[in-house]
Structure 1
Amino acid sequence: MLALLVPGGRGQLGQDLVAVAPADGLVHGPSSGELDLTDRGCVADAVASFASTARDGGLKPVVVNAAAYTAVDAAETDEERASLVNAVGPEFLALACAAENVPLVHVSTDYVFAGDGSRPYEPEDPTGPRSAYGRTKLDGERRVLRAWERSWVVRTAWVYGAGGPNFVKTIARLESERPELSVVDDQRGSPTWSADLAAGLVQLASRVVGDGPAARVLHATGGGETTWFGFARAVFEELGADPDRVKPCGTADFPRPAPRPAYSVLSGKAWEAAGLTPLRPWREALREAFAVGAVP
């Protein structure tokens, strides 16, 4: 039976991780205020205490790190803080896990790639982040993998869910406010429902308490691909609104401080090769998310 410690447990993904954790185990999802990853002593104490409690109860502890600095544009002028949360903190977490022999699953992002590809990125493909956020997340991956041999990195993309702000909630709000909406049609990726991602991460956690997958970097996103324009049209459809009210535009029409990857599709081949269940197709997941009231 599993015991899951989920730093970032009050965030969008963290809430779903706590919700889908096995009922016969133990789960603790502290917020960043309760567990500050940038405080090395605090991190070491938290992991040691959790591991001891879990093992005393006959459970197998695993840490799934859902904590991150995700303000992509703000990171351009706040890279030092983003680095503390996305790179230094995860390294402290990995070192604490190593000291207690606790496996670590660390969540990362498509932004570690340049975004100029034309086929789904494999985990071993060359990285080349173009934003401060991407640089700090890639640094975090490298620090985690270097610090502890029983660490696994899972990259994902275009995540939405019940908790926190996200694209689906934004589009749903704008549908009620505007007669028409322009959405970029030259950025391509795979929408990922946080509940599906959480289920996949828990499945991985159940594997890493043993030998775990040989591949230490994996990709997990919703199946298939679309553009933000296509994603927005799908949200309108689920709302019962006319999708033709969504109009395509280009990235240049909406300049942002941080560059966005034009191509963010991640290959799930390594995930499947590890014996893990592929996440469902993105359109099917979006339909289910609306059906169960997880969004907007």
Structure 2
Amino acid sequence: MTSSSSTPRPEVTASGATRPGGPGLLAGRTVSRVGYGAMQLERLRQDRGGALALLRRAVELGVDHIDTAQFYGDGFVNGLIREAIHPEDGVLVASKVGADADPGGPIPLRLAQRPEQLRASVEDNLVSLGVDRIPLVNLRRTDAGPGLRAEGDQVVGIDDQLAVMVGMRDEGKIGAIGLSSVTLDVLRHAIPAGIACVQNAYSLVARGDEDMLELCVAEGIAWVPYFPLGGAFPGLTKVTDEPAVTAGARALGITPSQLGLAWLLCHAPNVHLIPGTADAGHLEANVAAGTLALDDATIAALDAVPSRSVDIPLS
């Protein structure tokens, strides 16, 4: 019989910290519903010590889900995670494939959608993270949301992509498969392959994927929105500019960003947040958003905010 003292407590992380946002299921594991998106760590390229300290601070605050990619800084961010995060921290590190770094290009990113490129990207992530298996790998497609659109030989059917992803899962190189920047039809088609999460652009002001979110709730698929506060590209509305958000935040004595994140956690039980920052103060504020309880009047006022399109391709 296992003693109660050795039984894992779902409300705390491996480090003993209270889970920000409470516990949620992701890729078959219990993690904190407020995680950390590591993309902005590239801004600390000249301050490696500060970047490592930020990752350690995230763990101390109860973050045990970190989202990364080999194309974040062409391996720089993965190298930071490899150095800062240890097995005993119990952190689920999720990566993504479907693009490669292109440091000399007009956009420091190029699509890598072909099956052989997906496999090569997984291998690159394994090396830079220093692991034999990545718990969760998201396949970044180009079907929806802001960003690049596939052309030429980068237009690849989902079945061909899933075949290589499932193959690598069977080989033990990845633990679970997620999808990113996909449509409802693509998700429905992919579900039989076993989909652990969906990462789409979604926020209070960009709720066009509500039907997809409802499907994910029904299927037990985690919803991990990127751009959770909108405004990542010119032309995209910012959550923090909405009058209902600024008024609600002022009434509650919190920041508009915290209110936007807290609304997402309240909106659906399968939401996992990965807000990114290169600033320790912003990190702490983001994590604190997971402790907020919103009253019915505040939620109703935010629910009434109109949704806008986020389908803005980059040229």
TM-score normalized by structure 2?
0.33
TM-score normalized by structure 1?
0.34
